[in-house]
Chains A and B, each alone.
Chain A
Amino acid sequence: MNSVSALFLDYTFQTVALGSALLGLISGVLGSFAVLRKQSLLGDGVSHSALPGVVMAFVLLGSKKTEVLLMGALISGLLATLFIVGVVRHTRVKFDSALALVMSVFFGLGLVLLTYVQKIPNSNQAGLKRFIFGQASTLLQRDIILMIICGLVLLSLVLLFWKEFKLFTFDTDFAQSLGFSSKKLNLLLSFMIVLAIIIGLQTVGVILMSAMLIAPPVAARQWTNKLWIMVTLSALFGAMSGITGTAASSLVPKLPTGPAIVVCVSIIVLFSILFAPGRGVLYRIYQRRKNKILYKLEGGSPDVPSN
């Protein structure tokens, strides 16, 4: 127990845990909308698509500051989202195919740029790829401040447009008939999700960011039918797994932070799917057995085919 209390007083741990918790909170809130709109995998796509932007930002501005690289990532993530939305709107190609295509093409472009950068003499490009693949233990205080600012902006936008987003998420046609522009709302929401993904890139990395966007909302969805409870729970689950994952990776030697967070959040999902009252798998099995017994008591035939 001593090592645990010592851990929580450790400065590095505090920074990393705070960052991971913030990330879990932000992606938990915005992920709720992505999951409800059946665009869960947008996180995966956008985070892969960030690579060319990161490299371009480095080439054009010659700096490896977090803000510069994040800005590049943001722009190329937004561009990828615009492409996806455009292809889906104007052709019969479905969202998932457009996503897979745009994502892999952008990532390929990133690789091309990366090999190009390697040829420029005196350029210190090392670490660009690591930026994409995430390294929570390298989080600095300024990264945290950046996260807090972005998080505040995103959360206040969510609060401000709460009613619009809610309506748009559950009944797009109705929202449109009331005079809300579904095009603008779609773009705004997508942009906000992209921003949340980009600030998370550094902590858990390109591949695991999608889990942070999907898993907390999916777990939260099992416990409630109300949007605001779901969003709150999702933020809570995200923050919880951020802290737990960081703690686990500090206590256990050679346990990488990002994957540890993902395992934590996945455990929450499995628990929710199994045990959620009124909806979970176990509850359903119990309900079915109870109904069977009730049916028998009412005089029904006992060997009804179950399927």
Chain B
Amino acid sequence: MSPQIEIQLIAVIVAVACALPGTFLVLRKMSMMSDSITHTILLGIVLAFFVTHDLSSPFLIAGAALIGVVTVWLTELLSRTRLLAEDAAIGVVFPLLFSIAIILITRYAGSVHLDTDSVLLGELAFAPFDRMLIGGTDIGAKAIYTSGILLLINLAAIIIFFKEAKVVTFDPMLAAVLGFSPAFVHYGLMTLVSLTTVGAFQAVGSVLVVAFMIGPPVTAYLLTDDLRRMLILSGAIGAVNGILGYQAAALLDVSIAGSMAVVTGLLFMLVFVFAPYRGLISSLLRRRNQKLEFAKTTLLFHLASHEDSEKDIKPDIDTIQTHLHWTAKFTSKIIGSLEHEGYVQLSGNLTNLTEEGRSASIRDYNALFSR
């Protein structure tokens, strides 16, 4: 396999593996927890390194994953006191753990290649070189295998516990009543997030793990209401981001992981603007229509209620304008559109309800108030 294909394969696998637990993070309003964990795993790596004194030891990965869960636990412990909001708890815990890690590194591991950059800014371009550096035959594929195993674990966990994860995500009370432990699902999910983060940061770097974990699910969130479909869509979007990001990076000769994050953002922007029902354009259009509909209904009510009350108030355009606090332009627009629909009749400056307009107003009134 050529290095280009290998890099893209790794990127796709990592992206899909990140998108799966990321979906639940987005739905459970815990997106920033991924950012928190990507920072604190450094402490896990440092602590495990002090125990093993070996940078390639698997205990480093275990330590990192463990610290991820500890981060979640500490954050919950703080926010459970209800003395501070959950996001504030996240913001207190992760800088502290991260600072401790940096202090430990500068004081005791200055000579080891364990700096923040190597952890924070992973570089996908070096993944295929692993093979040449160590000399084995299969080492270059090591990143493919590790991220592949990660993907399998995530897939298996989500398929097996789909029902539990779904009910806990959308209705934790119901889940508890039905006998599923929300805490169990929560920490299970967080273990997955932690494992995935650790597995992915070497490939794409920690801040970009956040882009992979949150970007595709948020994009999919604007496209569907169905959990199963959202998971599949997130995976697909993640894969597309990976491939397009790599191609862009190769074309412009820039950071691969960075370019993947940028593509993630661009794809989200596209969906954000054009998504049916939930996009910017359709939301603006809907709001405009609602505003017009509301104004029309209001004007019909107004005319209908003034029709048989005070005879000295004439329903001319100026009066309507002052009564409803509308601008002249808006008033004539609404009256024009009502006239077009045949609900009002213009005679000179006076607007009179037609028979249809009267019955439409009564129908609206009944629809709103008679229950």
Smallest beta-carbon distance B189→chain A, Å: 16
On whether the beta carbons of B208 and A108 are closer than 8 Å, the reply is yes
Report B38-72 residues with CB < 8 Å from chain A CB.
39
A to B CB contacts below 8 Å, 29 in the list: A40-B90, A41-B91, A43-B91, A44-B32, A48-B207, A92-B278, A93-B222, A94-B29, A96-B30, A100-B213, A103-B35, A104-B264, A105-B262, A108-B208, A108-B255, A108-B260, A109-B258, A109-B261, A109-B265, A111-B208, A112-B259, A114-B258, A116-B252, A133-B116, A210-B91, A211-B96, A221-B83, A259-B99, A273-B84
- Interface of B, helix, strand, loop or mixed by DSSP: helix
Minimum CB distance partner of B222 in chain A: A91
On whether the beta carbons of A108 and B254 are closer than 8 Å, the reply is no
Which residue of A35, A87, A101, A256 is within 8 Å of B106 (Cβ)? A256
On whether the beta carbons of B95 and A262 are closer than 8 Å, the reply is yes
- Count chain A residues whose beta carbon lies closer than 8 angstroms to a beta carbon of B: 63
> Which residues on the A side are within 8 Å of B90 (C-beta)?
40-41
The residue among B96, B213, B264 with the most chain A CB atoms within 10 A of its own CB is B96
CB-CB nearest 7 A-B residue pairs: A108-B261, A111-B258, A105-B265, A211-B95, A259-B99, A104-B211, A214-B91
Judge whether A137 is part of the interface by a CB distance below 8 angstroms: no
Minimum CB distance partner of B273 in chain A: A90
Judge whether B320 is part of the interface by a CB distance below 8 angstroms: no
Distance A185 CA – B177 CA, assembled complex (angstroms): 43
Minimum CB distance partner of B99 in chain A: A259
Q: Which residues of B contact A (CB under 8 A)?
A: 26, 29-32, 34-35, 39, 78, 81, 83-85, 87-88, 90-92, 95-96, 98-100, 102-103, 106-107, 110, 116-117, 121, 205, 207-208, 210-211, 213-215, 217-218, 221-222, 249, 252-255, 257-262, 264-265, 268, 272, 278-280, 283-284
Judge whether A82 is part of the interface by a CB distance below 8 angstroms: no
Minimum CB distance partner of B210 in chain A: A104
On whether the beta carbons of A105 and B87 are closer than 8 Å, the reply is no
A221-B84, A281-B81 known; A103 vs B210 contact (CB < 8 Å): yes
> Which residues on the B side are within 8 Å of A35 (C-beta)?
84-85, 88
> Which residues on the A side are within 8 Å of B215 (C-beta)?
101, 104-105
Which residue of B29, B78, B96, B278 is within 8 Å of A263 (Cβ)? B96
> Which residues on the B side are within 8 Å of A262 (C-beta)?
95-96, 98-99
Distance A281 CA – B82 CA, assembled complex (angstroms): 10
Smallest beta-carbon distance A258→chain B, Å: 7
On whether the beta carbons of B258 and A101 are closer than 8 Å, the reply is no
Report A241-279 residues with CB < 8 Å from chain B CB.
254-256, 258-260, 262-263, 266, 269, 273, 276, 279
Smallest beta-carbon distance A103→chain B, Å: 7
